[in-house]
């Protein structure tokens, strides 16, 4: 909408001090002609805006004029960035809007709003079938707040074996995985992940969090998911795939597929993780046009058994 674009142009002017039509066009992904029309429209509407010609010229706000367009409270600003920060799956349009919005926030809100953007990861893929319509966990807001403020938390927790514990943790970030929320922490025993719906208490201590150097929440979560997936799919099958079939295998196996080098006959070495030989053989059975399983033997034997059964059934 043009109104949204005009607001974005004004925020861009406030942030940079001076812009050209070409810069506006690149930032907002419109043509230079549209950008010039928008700048002219702001001037006609009474915005204290003027232009200078020649090298180094552009559009400026008279006297560095500024306005607060957000009208947001601190909590509202943080909430927006928590659900649509750079690590989330928000649409590009939402992320672009937030990038512009942060420059219109009152100064006291900016640091925490930007901190919120790097404190949450949204991973839409669940671990498997799960319940729907679940409400946010009781202590989610308190833990998000502790992450953003960078303070330690005295955490009460009940694990999957129903054992209750209490410990002081250094919150590093929160993650939404499907419909479940997780807290990634540094503890005395190393980095740990806690399901937020199993948290029974969360009391900020006021002591600062000791954040590992170079810590990246999104990268850390990828490592956690890879480790969980490996525990859930302990069996590895080796196979040779024709080059044009690698894309088919990526669609079939996703992150369980590892692609290696090429062999002398031009085929590609691949490794696929699975739960057991029965499941893996069933998955490979529909891909024989592209792939030959080379091991382990249990998977090959199971494929042979499937083949004999198909011949008996369909001749």
Q: Is the separation of the CB atoms in 42 and 131 below 8 Å? A: no
The distance in angstroms from the start CA to the end CA of the chain is: 62
Average pLDDT over residues 27-51: 76
Task: Among 52-56, 170-174, 310-314, name the one with the lowest average pLDDT.
Answer: 52-56
Q: Taking the CA atoms of the chain, what radius of gyration do you get in angstroms?
A: 27
- Which are the contacts of 108, defined by CB distance < 8 A and separation ≥ 6? 74
Tell how strand 58-61 and strand 151-158 pair up: unpaired
Buried/exposed 123-152: b ≥16 CB within 10 Å, e otherwise: beeeeeeeeeeeeebebbebbbbbbbebbb
Spatial distance between the Cα atoms of 184 and 152, rounded to a whole number of angstroms: 12
Domains and CATH numbers, the chain: 2-64 (1.10.10.10), 74-118 (no CATH), 140-229 (2.30.30), 233-314 (3.30.70)
Q: Cis bond leading into 273, ω under 30°?
A: no
| Own/partner pairs, 24-29, CB within 8 angstroms, 24+ separation | none
Average pLDDT over residues 111-125: 52
What pLDDT is attached to residue 240?
A: 95
**How many CB atoms neighbour CB 100 within 10 A?**
20
- Whole-prediction pTM value? 0.49
Reported as a single tens digit per residue, the pLDDT across 145-165 is 888 788 999 999 998 889 999
Query: In this predicted model, which residue has the larger pLDDT, 231 or 199?
Result: 199
Spatial distance between the Cα atoms of 97 and 7, rounded to a whole number of angstroms: 10
How far is the CA of 283 from the CAs of 248, 252, 312, in angstroms? Answer: 12, 8, 20
What pLDDT is attached to residue 84?
A: 44
Query: In this predicted model, which residue has the larger pLDDT, 91 or 230?
Result: 230
Spatial distance between the Cα atoms of 288 and 274, rounded to a whole number of angstroms: 17
Reported as a single tens digit per residue, the pLDDT across 282-312 is 989 989 889 999 999 999 999 999 999 989 9
- Mean pLDDT highest for which of 14-18, 95-99, 127-131? 14-18
What pLDDT is attached to residue 44?
A: 62
Nearest to 104, CA basis, from 62, 70, 61: 70
191 - beta bridge partners?
186
Q: Tell me, rounded to whole angstroms, the distance of Cα 198 from its chain centroid.
A: 23
Q: What is the 3-class SS of 68-136, one letter each residue?
A: CCCCCCHHHHHHHHHHHCCCCCCCHHHHHHHHHHHHHCCHHHHHHHHHHHCCEEEECCCCCCCCCCCCC
Query: In this predicted model, which residue has the larger pLDDT, 158 or 219?
Result: 158
* SS3 category, 299: helix
Residue 10 is encoded by which pair of tokens?
Answer: 């004004």
* SS3 category, 152: strand
Spatial distance between the Cα atoms of 300 and 189, rounded to a whole number of angstroms: 42
Residue 289 is encoded by which pair of tokens?
Answer: 């046009």
Is the pLDDT at 51 greater than 80? The verdict is: no
């Amino acid at each position: 909408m043009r109104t949204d674009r005009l607001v974005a142009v004004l925020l861009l002017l406030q942030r940079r001090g001076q812009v050209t039509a070409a810069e506006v066009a690149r930032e907002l992904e419109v043509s230079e002609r549209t950008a010039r029309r928008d700048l002219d429209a702001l001037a006609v509407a009474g915005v204290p805006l003027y232009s200078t010609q020649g090298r180094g010229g552009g559009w400026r706000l008279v006297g560095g004029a500024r306005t607060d367009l957000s009208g947001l409270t601190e909590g509202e600003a943080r909430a927006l960035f928590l659900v649509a920060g750079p690590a989330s799956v928000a649409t590009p349009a939402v992320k672009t809007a937030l990038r512009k919005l942060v420059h219109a926030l009152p100064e006291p809100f900016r640091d925490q709003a930007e901190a919120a953007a790097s404190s949450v990861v949204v991973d839409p893929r669940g671990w498997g079938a799960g319940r729907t319509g679940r409400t946010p966990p009781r202590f989610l807001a308190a833990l998000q707040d502790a992450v953003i403020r960078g303070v330690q938390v005295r955490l009460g927790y009940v694990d999957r074996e129903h054992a209750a514990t209490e410990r002081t943790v250094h919150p590093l970030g929160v993650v939404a995985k499907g419909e479940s929320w997780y807290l990634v922490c540094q503890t005395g025993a190393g980095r740990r992940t806690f399901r937020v719906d199993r948290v029974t208490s969360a009391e900020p201590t006021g002591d600062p969090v000791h954040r590992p150097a170079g810590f990246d929440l999104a990268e850390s979560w990828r490592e956690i998911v890879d480790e969980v997936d490996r525990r859930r799919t302990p069996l590895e099958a080796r196979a040779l795939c024709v080059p044009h079939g690698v894309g088919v295998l990526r669609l079939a196996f996703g992150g369980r597929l590892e692609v290696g080098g090429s062999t002398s006959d031009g085929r590609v070495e691949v490794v696929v993780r699975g739960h057991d030989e029965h499941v893996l053989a069933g998955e490979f059975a529909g891909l024989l046009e592209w792939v030959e399983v080379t091991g382990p033997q249990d998977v090959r034997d199971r494929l042979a058994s499937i083949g004999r059964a198909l011949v008996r059934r369909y001749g």
